[in-house]
Amino acid sequence: MTDGTTTAESLSVEGLRSALHCPRRYELAHVHGIEDDEEDAVGDRVALLRTAICDALRSGETDREELETVARDRLSTLWTDHEEPFHSRAQRRHERRVLEATLAAYVERVGGEHAGGIERLAADATRDELIGPELPLSSTLELPEPAGGADPDSERETVTIDATVDYVYDDGSSIVGVRFVPTLAPLGPLRYRSEWEGDVAERFTDHFDTDSDTFEPDPVGSLFETAVVLDGLRTRRDRLELGDRTCRYVQIPLADRSGTAVNWVRETVETNLEVVDLTDVYVDHHTYGMTHDHRNGTVDDRLGRVASGLLSGPFDPSDRWDRIAEHACPTCDYTVCCQDYIAGEVRFDG
């Protein structure tokens, strides 16, 4: 990742995720701009919580009780204006209680600590916004040389990849980017691993092996996202002259109900919150030893190659179509206009 001078168009982490599932899906959604018409009620509720929490953090409160009070008041205001077709008033009241329980779990688990970390970082980074929601970060990397070799007199082309976090805080030794997500399901095995070496590295490599049956677009996309976010945090750190602190990336789920307990008689909801730091499972010790930054040469190299393919096209999924058809097509909103899918489903005799 570099400060190249010949910059190509930008890509997004969400676009990369689409392409990892299927290049044709990326083409339809991000090149031609065809939007799916699926309503995302869960995503809308996560957006309410994200906004309420970020606004509470922006208030400057670091006491847990005060922070929760500010966040609950903000959530109440947002919920009043929230329009969602519930089947009954009872369901609407229940969903609000779930959001309030999730908010309380966030404050109890990390809210006060993170609010204090934001306050500390703000004292050193007075020129920068630290709280979103959806605070933009970006990573600029050199694209690999063309297959025929590059013109020795030409500059290497670069691409900027955009990502977002919801806030940034200081944990004492590192600058940490935090992103709220609906659930941790897309992480797959990354959720339960603490290092890159081993099956994480093997699955990542096998995903791109056309002779392998491995198909792991979501975990691979999460590793790409981690690479982009960490590089974006390093850029921000250097711009603000925050020293040589390392950077870390954390995800917090706001719609994961696996730990939710509901008492329907008393009409109460309790839940807990899992916080996942993706930094250690992304970093490879060899690259870290050479750069003293949280990096992964294998992931970064593959990220550049995938980005280059998306910029140049074509978006041909044929080399991995069997895996795509089995795993990606059943849940894809674009099958109705995908020639590859239609050709496989419709056959004529004769």
For the segment 256-281, the average pLDDT, to the nearest whole number, is 93
**pLDDT attached to residue 53:** 98
Considering the domain boundaries, does residue 49 fall inside one?
Answer: no
3-state class (DSSP) for residue 113: helix
What is the DSSP secondary structure assignment for residue 152, as one 8-state letter? T
The answer on pLDDT for 348 being more than 60 is no
Q: Which amino acid is at 171?
A: D
Spatial CA neighbour of 16 closest among 284, 217, 257: 217
Higher local confidence (pLDDT), 101 or 1: 101
**pLDDT attached to residue 145:** 74
Considering the domain boundaries, does residue 41 fall inside one?
Answer: no
3-state class (DSSP) for residue 266: coil
Is residue 303 within 8 Å of 227, Cβ to Cβ?
yes
- 315 by Cβ neighbours in 10 Å (0-12 / 13-18 / 19+) ranks as middle
Considering the domain boundaries, does residue 42 fall inside one?
Answer: no
Cβ neighbours for 182, distance < 8 A, ≥ 6 positions apart: 42, 43, 46, 253, 254, 255, 256
Cβ neighbours for 33, distance < 8 A, ≥ 6 positions apart: none
Rounded to the nearest integer, the mean pLDDT of the chain is 90
Q: Which amino acid is at 68?
A: E
Residue range 176-222, pLDDT digits in tens:
999 999 999 999 999 999 999 999 999 999 999 989 999 999 999 99
Considering the domain boundaries, does residue 203 fall inside one?
Answer: yes
Where do we find the tokens 């999924």? 317
Tell me the pTM: 0.91
Is residue 195 within 8 Å of 280, Cβ to Cβ?
yes
For the segment 276-300, the average pLDDT, to the nearest whole number, is 84
The helix (H) or strand (E) run that includes residue 348 is none
The answer on pLDDT for 6 being more than 60 is no
Considering the domain boundaries, does residue 240 fall inside one?
Answer: yes
For the segment 121-137, the average pLDDT, to the nearest whole number, is 91
Tell me the HSE value of 4 on the side-chain side, using a 13 A CA sphere: 19
Q: How far is CA 222 from CA 29, 133, 264, 319, 337, in A?
A: 19, 19, 36, 23, 27
Report the number of distinct structural domains present in the chain: 1
CA distance 119 to 123: 7
Please tell me the least confidently modeled range out of 40-54, 75-89, 278-292: 278-292
**pLDDT attached to residue 154:** 60
Q: Are strands 246-253 and 174-181 parallel, antiparallel or unpaired?
A: parallel
E strands, the chain, in order: 6-7, 11-12, 131-142, 157-170, 174-181, 246-253, 261-263, 268-270, 276-277
Confidence of residue 95 (pLDDT cuts 50, 70, 90): very high
Q: Containing domain of residue 172, as a range?
A: 6-36+127-345
Q: List Cβ<8 Å contacts ≥24 apart for 287-296.
A: 292/244, 293/230, 293/234, 293/246, 293/247, 294/230, 294/246, 294/247, 294/248, 295/227, 295/230, 296/196, 296/223, 296/227
Considering the domain boundaries, does residue 94 fall inside one?
Answer: no
Considering the domain boundaries, does residue 218 fall inside one?
Answer: yes
Considering the domain boundaries, does residue 213 fall inside one?
Answer: yes
CA distance 218 to 190: 10
